[in-house]
Chains A and B, each alone.
Chain A
């Protein structure tokens, strides 16, 4: 090889080397160039120039640093770079909708946005520095932003107790527990209640096979305006508690056959006093009298009846007990009498109070139910069902377990199935890869999955055992929100510190009052120290509020304090002795520490003060806008016509000073009243007295709005 040749080659190599170097530099340049064009840098520059157009530039740029802003919460395992672009997030002056995104400030919320960052509530990819990566799902990053309409789910991750600010989440939690989702699924913070579906150990004594068949096929008993029983096309305000299962005809026959054989304890027919029956049977309007009693006793506070007005059929009444429109065609009359006399002997955890019945009332009301609340055509489309064969019974017994019936219904000798469905306690934190979408063509994300699963369980899993629910879009969103809030127990103890648990309280009075409390099921409607129902007033401080004689009288004959309420206290036919036990207990125990009954001397209230109070009531403060006295006034607050016999003077004074301190969340606004005005108003209210209304006996009728 000659030297020239070597030179030639070296020139060529040099060219290649030069080219390679240029290419290498170009490749190296990619990274800084790409970095230079990062979108967040553009946003930062835009923010600075936007801030300069605002009058408060200095404040807006006070904590501005060029570069990536980062909020790191190691305890929560969150790294949040959102504030790199969302620069104005905590600037109160940028809250207006006219401020362009991403600079607009967060609306005022109880948490410090700068401290907590965005990802904890809004989800998304905190470490990402590209808009699309941060906000959307990619193959590598699975957590998209939570759509705003489900955002209350994030509140529920830590706040396990209901907050007033999260109505959608609260509604979802309520639905999950009302629809007995806990029967089959393990849910976070929603306990599996003792009362899911009725105990069926003895159902053969209660129901006919035809009715069971009908119920399993179409678990609605309400009619539409043309008198047809319909399942779809009828708008129930509430989803019935028994959902529709996908059962074949043969399966329904087998299940109904099995259930009719369940006759644990035979029912002994109650023997009515023959003279009562004989005298009542003569009256032509027996069922009408029964209806009057049914209404007087306010059965509709818990039970609803379908009422057709014009073309519209609506359920009117409460939802604590089952709807009763056609119950006369459902139950065995002997069972009905036994149930009304003592519900707990049939079903120990029944919520129905044990009324004190006279033979007359019991006979009238059962006659009303058996003759009026019926529908002769109810079972007309049920095919003839023969005596159950052994084969059917065996199949029914097997189906009862296979279909998950034992998750909600108890049968003696059949062990209850808990957690029959998948565990949903951490559904809200699942990634897309953990979900089974089957052959469905819904978008691949958690929210679409949850909604598809609830609206049509078969769409994502053709072998699903889950029954069919029909929820309104609003309720569906509420349930989705509640499920998304279930992200499981906190990953470590420092996070557990942040969780606000559901308050647990149990009010279990003992003694004579305890027996009555249990007998009349006070806690189904009333709340005591945070435990109990929401339908009726909270009685935690009733002893401070009401006078003892008034409580005893009210129990005997509940009058109407709030004229607009549909739900009234039922008349239990309480005895005098029981009424005084309850009044004494409430007066002794349910006292508010801020109301000192002995501190207010009734004698200090003079007629002059009362006269001044009347002026204040009628003219200066116009209390009559909300309260009724006599026949004039508003509907919002309670009727005060008898307030002098009802309320304690010390309670009225404290109430006028600060209503919310006594009953949190009450509507009456707090006013700035002077001490003199408080005393004058109290003096006036104490003069408002009515004669005790005549006690309603079984034959006397009460008018609606009976306080007058």
Chain B
């Protein structure tokens, strides 16, 4: 009788405590394509997809509206203007060219145009047409699709806002 009471008094609270512990729901492994905002084909291998973040996807939209005409070989309207131009503008996926250029240089070229940065005047200035956020987004998109892939330099970017 004594032992039965004892067991009753110990087990009941234990059960109550145990029942309050939850079974952790299994969190499904994050699929980086299902969770990507958008995807883009790899320029060298269309079967492989590159997941794009929100910012990169915004950049893709701006690119396809303004830049695609001269920096790609196929455009929404069909033929590209790229082959018409001398010097020939680099393709937007051309990592060998763009990976060597810093973010600041790329952003300034887009904002101020080629002639301001010692490049060809064919590249017009977009600073008054696109916002700085849009220009950053385009750059993020170009970095995402670059072949060979772009690797940010080992030194981290400044934490402080640009002056």
Contact = CB atoms under 8 A, between A and B. Distances in A.
Interface of A: 12, 16, 19-20, 23-24, 26-27, 30, 34, 54-56, 92-93, 96-98, 107-109, 130-132, 135-136, 138, 147-149, 151, 164-165, 167-168, 562, 564-566, 619-622, 625-626, 633-636, 660, 665, 667, 669-672
Contact of A667 (B24, B55, B65, B79): B65
Given A93-B159, A622-B120, A633-B84, A669 B53 contact: no
Contact of B124 (A151, A165, A562, A669): A669
29 contacts: A19-B6, A19-B10, A20-B9, A23-B13, A24-B13, A30-B20, A56-B160, A109-B54, A132-B27, A149-B36, A149-B38, A164-B61, A564-B77, A564-B81, A565-B77, A566-B78, A619-B121, A620-B115, A622-B122, A625-B122, A633-B84, A636-B69, A636-B81, A667-B69, A669-B124, A669-B128, A669-B129, A671-B125, A672-B128
A667 B78 CA distance: 16
B20 A667 contact: no
Nearest to A566: B78
A148 B36 contact: yes
A107 B54 CA distance: 7
Contact of B37 (A24, A55, A149, A566): A149
Nearest to B69: A636
A24 B9 CA distance: 10
Given A23-B12, A30-B20, A54-B159, A147 B35 contact: yes
A660 B129 contact: yes
Contacts of A19: 6, 9-10
Interface string B87-126: 0000000000000000000000000000100001110111
A165 B58 contact: yes
B79 to A, nearest CB: 5
Contacts of A670: 128-129
Contact of A132 (B12, B24, B70): B24
A97 B125 CA distance: 29
Nearest to A633: B84
A27 B20 CA distance: 10
A24 B17 CA distance: 11
A400 B8 CA distance: 73
Contacts of B53: 97, 107
A636 B68 CA distance: 10
Contacts of A620: 115, 121
Contacts of A131: 27
Nearest to B157: A96
B121 A107 contact: no
B73 interface: no
User: Chain A interface secondary structure, helix, strand, loop or mixed?
Assistant: loop
A45 B49 CA distance: 38
Interface string B8-35: 0110110011001010110100000011
A633 B16 CA distance: 82
A26 B17 contact: yes
Contacts of B12: 23
A138 B25 CA distance: 9
A136 B25 contact: yes
Nearest to B12: A23
Given A635-B84, A671-B125, 5 more contacts: A20-B9, A24-B13, A107-B53, A108-B133, A622-B120
A594 to B, nearest CB: 17
A97 B140 CA distance: 12
Contacts of B115: 620
Interface of B: 2, 5-6, 9-10, 12-13, 16-17, 20, 22, 24-25, 27, 34-38, 53-55, 58, 61, 65-66, 69-70, 75, 77-81, 84-85, 115, 120-122, 124-126, 128-129, 133, 156-157, 159-161
A62 B71 CA distance: 44
Nearest to A562: B77
Nearest to A16: B5
Nearest to A665: B65
Contacts of A20: 9
Nearest to A620: B121
Contacts of B6: 19
Nearest to A666: B129
Contacts of A26: 13, 17
A671 B65 contact: no
A27 B19 CA distance: 12
A259 B120 CA distance: 65
The residue in B35, B159, B161 that gathers the most chain A C-beta atoms within 10 A of its C-beta is B159
B61 A27 contact: no
A96 B157 CA distance: 10
Contact of B35 (A96, A148, A621): A148
A108 B5 CA distance: 63
Nearest to B115: A620
Contact of B79 (A34, A135, A564, A672): A564
A151 B5 contact: no
Nearest to B130: A669
A671 B37 CA distance: 33
Contacts of B58: 165
Given A30-B16, A625-B70, A149 B121 contact: no
Contact of B81 (A12, A626, A672): A626
Contacts of A562: 77
A460 B158 CA distance: 54
B114 to A, nearest CB: 9
Contacts of A109: 54
A622 B114 CA distance: 11
B61 A167 contact: yes
Contacts of A167: 61
Contacts of A34: 20
B35 A55 contact: no
Contact of B61 (A55, A165, A626): A165
B66 to A, nearest CB: 6
Given A148-B36, A165-B61, A621 B25 contact: no
Contact of B25 (A107, A132, A564, A634): A132
B55 A671 contact: no
A235 B90 CA distance: 32
Contacts of B81: 564, 625-626, 634-636
B159 A23 contact: no
A165 B61 CA distance: 7
A379 B141 CA distance: 50
A669 B70 contact: no
Contacts of B13: 23-24, 26-27
Contacts of A16: 5, 9
A350 to B, nearest CB: 28
A92 B157 CA distance: 14
A621 B124 CA distance: 8
Contacts of B61: 164-165, 167
A167 B80 CA distance: 22
A30 to B, nearest CB: 5
Contacts of A660: 129
Nearest to B66: A667
Contacts of B128: 669-672
Nearest to B1: A12
A130 B24 CA distance: 10
A93 B80 CA distance: 38
Contacts of B84: 625, 633-635
A107 B22 CA distance: 34
Nearest to B39: A149
Which A-B residue pairs are the 3 nearest by beta carbons?
A: A132-B25, A670-B128, A107-B54
The residue in B16, B61, B78, B124 that gathers the most chain A C-beta atoms within 10 A of its C-beta is B124
A97 B27 CA distance: 21
A146 B9 CA distance: 47
Contacts of B159: 54-56, 93
